[in-house]
Structure 1
Amino acid sequence: MNLTLWILTVGWIFVLLWVPFIIYTNRKTHPKALFVLFFAEMWERFSYYGMRALLVLYMTKVLFVDLAQSAAEIKSYAIYGSYTAMVYLLPVLGGLVADKYLGFRRTIIWGGFLMVLGHFTLGIQGIGDLEGNMPLFFGALALIIVGNGFFKPNVSSFLGKFYETDDPRKDGAFSIFYMGVNIGSFLSMLTCGYVGQNINWHYGFGLAGIGMLIGLTVFWIFSRGFGEKGLQPKEVQEGKVKLFGIKPDLPVIVLSLAAIPICALMLNLNEVMSTILLVISLLIVGYLLYHALTAKDKATGQRLLVVIVLFFFHAVFWALFEQAGGSITLFTEKNVDRFIMGTELPASIFQSFNPLFIILLAPLFSYMWLRLNKAGKEPSTPMKFVLGLAQLALGFAIIVIGAKYFANSEGLVSVAFIAFMYLFHTMGELSLSPVGLSMVTKLSPGKVVGFVMGAWFLSMSIGNKMAGWIGTLTASESIDEGAHPMETLGIYANTYLIWGVSVVAGAALILFLLIPLLRKWMHGIH
């Protein structure tokens, strides 16, 4: 049996056993809503990461195959950076729509529907003469971008509604929820990555769409058991709040459809996209600062200031972590010895290390935070961010050491270095990302929690745009098709040493020095 197929089969069996075990062992600790949202988000992430596993490889090997290798990579990184930046930019508006107009349930369902359309559009691009049709390709990505803007922030915010503000179960719940995210990611990178690279790119994209459809259906069926939670605000139901003089449902649909061609256009205008993102970021951070500094309750304002400070360190983390979907995938393609037991594993499948480690480690982290909390020794949220950044830097240090000192004469490093890099990156992610989601629901003023969650995703948008730019630093114009792997190895090692190790470790040190001030501003919220 082909080793890749064997890994795929074992992966599915493992998940089919692991998910019921997690639900069974946590059923008395957490509300049922956690597991419904866990399952819906799992399939949504199956769709997103299934497509992400293939995107850069598909662009460099199919869409831009006529360009020189370096030119194809630079163009692909730019599109990838703009795409992932908008994926995390649009949630700012999606959170606002849920807070003020549609409520969590309707917003999530509308977003999921648009994402299904986007994935299936990528899937049908392989039919006939549609291959290489750039307007269709950009339109499909735009549908996913806009849909994700409605779906992504509101699932996380909705989960927070089922726990009290300083509930000690909350960090654990978000760790379990985050594991659901990564089960979907793990399955998709194995399944869509294998199908896309070994059978047909568009079958891989189509499978991602099926995953999204499953997630949407699960949420639609079970959310009806949530009672009054997640419905439209009462002011909207009573007709007191309108948009353009009518009920907000139709205007939201029309405006979101109008946003699709705009997003498609921005994908191919890299510099314009960067400028727009900068302006939007300054405006939103400025608004949050104004809200924090003018709050009637000083403690409420200072808690929001903590979110704003951590916003910037969060962006730095994702700028380097998201190399996984870009430069690290191409590094794996070019400079990692992928032959195992006589089978050359596809580069995309190595991205599954990250979600696999999260599936295994998330329950441990959830348990660890609860135990440390009971013992009065749990690190504060800012300290968890320091730990996340430090482990991210350590992961890149492992790759740099492998590239500089342990590469063979062919310029290839052992898969062990990639595995250990993903292990430390995963522990960094678990220290920072689910805790950040939980923090936003704890420290945000109740009436704007959706908007603040959207702004939190904006920091990921900035990070992803930076990730695309950092990725271009690994694509040298002097090295093209046929270059010896030893040449590309040095470029990757130097880029990761500067950005992955030095910059990230420096950010961790700065944040460590700010911890006493941030803890004071949190006013007792741990």
Structure 2
Amino acid sequence: MTSHDQAPAAPQFPQTMGHPRPLWMLFMTEFWERFAFYGMRWALTLYIVAQFWNGDEAGQASASRTYGAYLALVYATAVFGGYVADKIIGYQRSILLGAVVMAAGLFAIMLPYHSVFVFGLSMVIVGNGLFKPNISSMVGQLYATGDSRRDRGFTLFYMGINAGALIAPILTSILADKVFGSDSHHNYHVVFAASGIGMLISLVWFWIGRRMLGDIGRPLSAEMADPKRLLYVIIGVAVAVPLVYLLMDGAGAVVIQWLLMALFLGVAVMLVVEAVRNGRVQIHRVIAMLIIFAFNVLFWMFFEQAGSSFNFLAQNIVDRNLGGWQFPVGWFQSVNPVAIVALAPLIAAAWAWLDGRGAEPSIPRKFGLGLIGNALGFAVLMFALSSLVDASGMIPLWTLVLCYVLQTAGELCLSPIGLSMVTKLAPMRLVGLAMGGWFLSTAIGNNLAGLFAGHVSGEGGLTVASALSGYTMGFWILAGGGVLLFLLAPLINRLMHGIK
């Protein structure tokens, strides 16, 4: 008997729009957290070049590597956050503590000093590790084992949190340009302040709304509920932030990559050891999950160019002139969430329609579709950079927008399905750690994305030629990965033993 067979039934909740009512509370908590995350994300690399490189384009590669390392560590710390929730203080207290630390970090990066900036980013990284994996894990706990609505619930959750990502770059760009700055100068400090306020709203929303969760996310025992445990975790956070600072400021992206790989190996071993205790079926399911994690690395290595090389592409090579009005660089960051909000209900409905006819694609095939969608986005940029460059060395705005839309379609076939997959395939006692492993695979991909973006920009900044070369490589690797995953799908499905 596997751990999935032993899992208790989910509690009965009042239903809203066909899903447990607490889903919508978690939806809004993550909405505001994503507002904070995306509100500052679009500005990070531009701010680094402007503030610490005096606007010199030679700083683009360094800014991209810093951005990639930041994103990687944001997701890597989810491994520890998942373990803290599983074993030490529970999910709800982990989320609340993480929100406090993140908000403090976002306000800290407002200060125009490099050491304070990196320390603030380190606080955001550690706080996010406590927050991000655990709120996703609680979504899975709202549904009973075998409930076919789980994938659709995660897709709706994914749509909702991206509504915050949609609004954030638009609002923070307007605040920076029109209210506190000017058309030609971004007041990035205002962007970071607005993000900090968004994180505070997320904190208050969850604090008030957590009552409707009942026992979900609460400590599982009197020992876990002991206030001393929370104090120990707070001390751990106080130690972790300076350690992350040292990684960000001293180690660099290459060293971080090796550390992430070692950490991922450790998580994989822990999951396999736990699976062995639960029998052959659970071992197979963990192996299937780890294979999917490897392809997740590949997806995010090329997808996560939005805040780095795509940002510099938008700033310097995309013609943003629309009848005398300049389309703001930050607004490109809203194309992805706009597409998610528009496409997520359609894709969720498509999965439901196919499920009713016994034809819904399996998890590995959905992931294969995700890789191919990502590849098609790069194909558009390949075409633009080779055939649509005008006399001033610019490509049309619509090409970057279409790239984002195609990548988003791929993301919707992969990311929300991955969250749901972890809650289905992971050993019941280590769902939080497994969710951390999922985010760790994303972290490895994000760090590689920063290294890739630095390679594309080169030493002198992004050019048409360097972008075309780099994005062509991205297309072929992604397309090959998608085809390979389709070929491996029957084997992976067998390893899942009926999980769909």
Question: Contact 1:165/1:441 (CA < 8 Å) preserved in 2?
Answer: no
Specify the code of the residue in structure 2 equivalent to 1:160: G
Q: 85, 105, 122: which is aligned to 1:118?
A: 105
How far did 1:195 drift? 2.9
State the alpha-carbon separation in 2 of the partners of residues 197 and 236 from structure 1: 51
Residue matched to 1:510: 484
| Paired residue secondary structure (1:106) | helix
Question: Contact 1:56/1:77 (CA < 8 Å) preserved in 2?
Answer: yes
Question: Contact 1:146/1:259 (CA < 8 Å) preserved in 2?
Answer: yes
Q: 71, 86, 91: which is aligned to 1:84?
A: 71
1:96 and 2:71 matched: no
How far did 1:55 drift? 0.3
1:56-81 superposed Cα distances (whole Å, 9 cap, x missing partner): 11111222217x422x1121112111
Residue matched to 2:3: none
Question: Contact 2:88/2:224 (CA < 8 Å) preserved in 1?
Answer: no
Residue matched to 1:57: 46
* Equivalences for residues 2-401 of structure 1 within 5 A: 27-65=16-54, 68-70=56-58, 72-123=59-110, 125=111, 131=112, 133-196=113-176, 199=181, 200-237=187-224, 247-268=228-249, 269-270=251-252, 271-292=254-275, 294-401=276-383
State the alpha-carbon separation in 2 of the partners of residues 238 and 142 from structure 1: 28
State the alpha-carbon separation in 2 of the partners of residues 45 and 94 from structure 1: 18
TM-score (norm 2): 0.93
1:471 and 2:445 matched: no
How far did 1:295 drift? 3.8
1:121-173 superposed Cα distances (whole Å, 9 cap, x missing partner): 123x1xxxxx2x11110111011000000000001001111101221111111
Residues 410 and 171 of structure 1: CA distance in aligned 2, closer, same or farther (over 3 Å): same
State the alpha-carbon separation in 1 of the partners of residues 45 and 162 from structure 2: 20
1:266-305 superposed Cα distances (whole Å, 9 cap, x missing partner): 112214323322221222223334444x244211111111
Question: Contact 2:370/2:414 (CA < 8 Å) preserved in 1?
Answer: yes
Question: Contact 1:194/1:346 (CA < 8 Å) preserved in 2?
Answer: no
Specify the code of the residue in structure 2 equivalent to 1:313: F
Moved more, 357-366 or 146-155: 357-366
1:404 and 2:349 matched: no
How far did 1:237 drift? 4.9
Residues 236 and 474 of structure 1: CA distance in aligned 2, closer, same or farther (over 3 Å): same
| Paired residue secondary structure (2:304) | helix
How far did 1:409 drift? 1.1
State the alpha-carbon separation in 2 of the partners of residues 369 and 202 from structure 1: 42
Question: Contact 2:134/2:432 (CA < 8 Å) preserved in 1?
Answer: yes
State the alpha-carbon separation in 2 of the partners of residues 275 and 455 from structure 1: 16
Q: Which runs of 5+ in 2 are unaligned?
A: 1-14, 182-186
Question: Contact 2:69/2:447 (CA < 8 Å) preserved in 1?
Answer: yes
State the alpha-carbon separation in 1 of the partners of residues 329 and 224 from structure 2: 50
Question: Contact 1:138/1:265 (CA < 8 Å) preserved in 2?
Answer: no
How far did 1:27 drift? 2.2
State the alpha-carbon separation in 2 of the partners of residues 195 and 63 from structure 1: 22
1:396-419 superposed Cα distances (whole Å, 9 cap, x missing partner): 000110110111111111111111
Q: Which runs of 5+ in 1 are unaligned?
A: 1-25, 126-130, 240-245, 481-486
State the alpha-carbon separation in 2 of the partners of residues 399 and 92 from structure 1: 35
| Paired residue secondary structure (2:142) | coil
How far did 1:194 drift? 3.5
State the alpha-carbon separation in 2 of the partners of residues 179 and 341 from structure 1: 32
| Paired residue secondary structure (1:247) | helix
State the alpha-carbon separation in 2 of the partners of residues 315 and 398 from structure 1: 22
Specify the code of the residue in structure 2 equivalent to 1:69: E
State the alpha-carbon separation in 2 of the partners of residues 308 and 93 from structure 1: 18
Specify the code of the residue in structure 2 equivalent to 1:418: L
1:223-242 superposed Cα distances (whole Å, 9 cap, x missing partner): 11221111111152576xxx
1:452-483 superposed Cα distances (whole Å, 9 cap, x missing partner): 00011000110010000000112233x46xxx
State the alpha-carbon separation in 1 of the partners of residues 452 and 23 from structure 2: 36
Residues 450 and 61 of structure 1: CA distance in aligned 2, closer, same or farther (over 3 Å): same
Specify the code of the residue in structure 2 equivalent to 1:217: V
Residue matched to 1:16: none
| Paired residue secondary structure (1:229) | coil
Question: Contact 1:53/1:193 (CA < 8 Å) preserved in 2?
Answer: no
State the alpha-carbon separation in 2 of the partners of residues 226 and 296 from structure 1: 29
Name the count of aligned residue pairs: 477
Residue matched to 1:484: none
Specify the code of the residue in structure 2 equivalent to 1:58: Y
Question: Contact 2:86/2:430 (CA < 8 Å) preserved in 1?
Answer: yes
Residue matched to 2:11: none
How far did 1:328 drift? 0.5
How far did 1:510 drift? 1.4
How far did 1:341 drift? 2.6
How far did 1:433 drift? 0.2
How far did 1:386 drift? 0.3
How far did 1:110 drift? 0.3
Question: Contact 2:49/2:63 (CA < 8 Å) preserved in 1?
Answer: yes
Question: Contact 1:196/1:205 (CA < 8 Å) preserved in 2?
Answer: no
TM-score (norm 1): 0.88
